[in-house]
Amino acid sequence: MIEFLLRNRQAPGDILMISAALRDLHLQYPGQFASDVFTHNRESVWAHNPYVTDLDPGKVRNINLKYSGPIRRSDTAGKHFVTAFHETLGQQLGIPIDITEIRGDIYFTEEERANPLIEGNYWVTVAGGKTDIATKIWGSHRYQEVVDQLRGEIAFVQVGGGAERRRPRHLHSPLDGTVELLGKTSFRQLMRLILHAKGVLCGVTCGMHLAACVNIPCVVIAGGREPPTWERYDQAAWRHEGLEPPVDLVEHTFIETMGELQCCLKKGCWKSHLGGEPRKRNGVDPNCLHLAEGTPKCLAMITPEAVVEAIRAYKTPTSCIEDLKINLVPEKSSPEPPREISNEKTVIEASERKGTMLERTGPPTICVVLYGTYTQLHQRCINSVLKNTQPDKYKLIVGCNEVAQSTLDWLESELSRSGVNHHILVEPTNTYKYPLMRRMFQLVDTDWLVWFDDDSWINNNPDWLQTLAAFFHPGGKSGYHCFGKKYYYHLKNGQIKWVKAAKWYRGKPFRQNKGHDTVDFCTGGFWAASAAVLKALDWPDPRIKHNGGDIMLGAALYQNDVGIQQVIIPGILISDHKRRGYQEVHPGIIS
């Protein structure tokens, strides 16, 4: 008998696809394999699974299971996502694995089937998503319209951001008129909620895959990011693999807009981030630039009315939330302990939420620098902060560097009416970005701060500050942190000497990348950091004038063992204007 351990650190939806491959391996080759798994949510997804055996990881073959090949062919092959791990596991084992069902393989006890966590007729909705794939998020205001239109017909239970671990990278806004369980369920409880639900409303996410596992209706708001054949659960997916669909198969309603825009005319775009400056990942720019109100156009084209119609078409029993009996006890558990120590370092300490994130962190100071005679640009930035942020949740410092009088007049009038605690610094001549930043930081009296250049702004996301606050954990064991869109930079010629001359230099060797001393940093157009750390560094370094301060901040943080965390928040558009102002080489470079 061949023994092996499958390893995968991907999201729960991916893990459900692995469960199908493991099922079909054992059905096709009975008695020939003993298998174990090491994944997220192991004790939930794999509970009672007859194909999982406790094995010693040090004594059996370990297989890191991925599916890069199948996903690259997804636009042309016509195969469903559930088949991906059949191919890659078969390749690892050197055998073909034939699929038997187009759905994952999960198991429930008789007690779980007999005792619903919520009694009554309800739909589960996942109305948010992960910020690292923000292009899947339809928008909470649209979900709210669906809930409002179906009030009295459909009772919704809202889930997301499970209790196994804190999820600062998940964006879920509470919906009025729902049973709101955000962050209050373990993954096993989520599975049980969907087991007894009448349907699921979500984007392309784990809820869709769980609905297919238990064969209930699902309305999926998909847009044009991924090919429908890759994700849609319907009879065609079964027949494509030569399978006869079950007579009781409940097909999903997959609302997609493929072919309606140039960006998804013939295939899915597979973009993951919203707006921002172009960048490359595996040779491809992951930024979606076709936005409508901060949402990809392919999703914004889908109306709440179309979603309501799709839900009503299933003709599930009607109910309202007052009819439901809640038996679920919200969980506050820590992560399910893995059976071995992971080598991955935890960047953010898990801590129990007490009230909202901002109640835990305290309000930040938002610092905005304005430059030059670009009044409309200044208004876009400042208005976006005022529009998307509650006035009592932050302090505001605006640095005005050689701005037009029209900017000053408008700014003083607008901020006086806003109710925001604010301070305006004015430099009549160009003092450069970082000297003005030093003056601004001297006025900061909050625990943390957020920085905006004037060409960065918030495009319709009133939850942006709550999302950002979830990353800031004052006093955590992992130290203070800096957050933003993360890049790396190879230090050049005189920059090493410049760094070594700094007061914050601690003699720590920089990490190596392709033979270069390398610095991780957050792009300077939008970032957040602990005010105490910046004060300890005496930041900005007084030698910096205009360019390269973001890179050198990365160097200073690294030298002082302060971690930088990648944070990409939907609707934050960074450096969204052509470059202006004074040009200079980066600090330390010999021109």
What would the pLDDT profile of 486-508 be if each residue is shown by its tens digit?
Answer: 888 999 878 999 999 999 999 99
The per-residue pLDDT of the chain, averaged, comes to 87
CA distance 130 to 150: 26
343, pLDDT greater than 80: no
Assigned token pair, 164: 């196994």
Average pLDDT in the 421-427 region?
Answer: 93
**Distance set, CA 452 to CA 17, 169, 456, 484, 527 (Å):** 41, 21, 6, 11, 7
The candidate with the shortest Cα–Cα distance to 12, out of 188, 254, 181, 226, is 188
Cβ atoms 311, 319 nearer than 8 A: no
Average pLDDT in the 326-330 region?
Answer: 85
Place 340 in a pLDDT band, splitting at 50, 70 and 90: very low
To the nearest 10°, the Cα dihedral for 212, 216, 221, 226? 20
289, pLDDT greater than 60: yes
305, pLDDT greater than 60: yes
Kindly list the domain boundaries of the chain, sorted by start residue: 2-93, 110-326, 362-573
pLDDT score recorded for residue 34: 95
Q: How many CB atoms lie within 10 A of CB 352?
A: 8
pLDDT score recorded for residue 355: 36
CA distance 591 to 587: 10
* Amino acid identity, position 146: V
Length of the chain: 591
Reply yes or no on domain 362-573 having CATH 3.90.550.10: yes
The residue behind tokens 């606050």 is: 469
pLDDT score recorded for residue 520: 92
430, pLDDT greater than 80: yes
What would the pLDDT profile of 184-196 be if each residue is shown by its tens digit?
Answer: 899 999 999 999 9
CA distance 489 to 92: 36
To the nearest 10°, the Cα dihedral for 60, 57, 333, 345? -130
CA distance 499 to 483: 22
* Amino acid identity, position 8: N
**Distance set, CA 164 to CA 45, 174, 189, 191, 340 (Å):** 13, 19, 11, 13, 17
What would the pLDDT profile of 195-227 be if each residue is shown by its tens digit?
Answer: 999 999 999 999 999 999 999 999 999 999 999
Q: What is the CATH number of domain 110-326?
A: 3.40.50.2000
Cβ atoms 132, 272 nearer than 8 A: yes
What would the pLDDT profile of 366-400 be if each residue is shown by its tens digit?
Answer: 999 999 999 999 999 999 999 999 999 999 999 99
Rg, Å, the chain Cα set: 26
Q: Report CA torsion sign: 437, 438, 444, 449.
A: positive
Assigned token pair, 289: 């630039």
| 287-320 burial code (b ≥16 CB/10 A, e <16) | bbebbeebbbbbbbbbebeebbebbeebebeebb
What would the pLDDT profile of 118-140 be if each residue is shown by its tens digit?
Answer: 999 999 999 988 877 889 999 88
Q: How many CA atoms lie within 13 A of 398 on its CB side?
A: 26
To the nearest 10°, the Cα dihedral for 448, 454, 455, 459? 60
Concatenating the DSSP letter of every residue in 208-269 gives HHHHHHHT--EEEEEETSS-HHHH--SHHHHHHTT-PPPTT----EEEE-TTSSGGGSSS--
